[in-house]
Amino acid sequence: MNGHALFRTTLAVCCALGLAGTAAGEALDGAKLYREKTCIACHGADANTPLLPEYPKLAGQSALYAANQMRDIKSGSRANGNTAAMAGIMHLVTDAEIDALATWLESLD
């Protein structure tokens, strides 16, 4: 099983167990989180039209890659480029929310 398949399987198990859900046990909504966590401000409403050309297009990005990048920015292990802007936001995002955001971003064309 490759890393991508393992990530999807792990996420599916977490969702089934309610580990990636809200307190009420419902699955987190990546699209809603994208708006609430203000990702939309820099990466665009469609996650494909960033505010500045040097900001990445996120739509269709591998969920495993996106989640790893968000976690690295959150932990401070990635601190290059424009990550300073995201570092201030990422401390407000839980691991379950990162997984939901990454899965939603991957689903976009």
- What is the reported pLDDT for 10? 43
- What is the reported pLDDT for 94? 97
Backbone conformation region of residue 85, classed left if phi is above 0, alpha if psi is from -120 to 50, else beta = alpha
18: pLDDT confidence band, cut at 50, 70 and 90? very low
Three-state SS string over the chain comes to CCHHHHHHHHHHHHHHHCCCECCCCCECCHHHHHHHCCHHHHHCCCCCCCCCCCCCCCCCCCHHHHHHHHHHHHHCCCCCCCHHHHHHHHCCCCHHHHHHHHHHHHHCC
- The residue among 28 and 10 whose pLDDT is bigger is 28
The domains located in the chain, with CATH, are 3-107 (1.10.760.10)
- What is the reported pLDDT for 1? 55
- What is the reported pLDDT for 2? 53
The pLDDT tens digits for 44-90 are 999 999 999 999 999 999 999 999 999 999 999 998 878 888 988 99
For the segment 2-27, the average pLDDT, to the nearest whole number, is 48
- The residue among 90 and 13 whose pLDDT is bigger is 90
Percent of the chain having pLDDT more than 70? 76
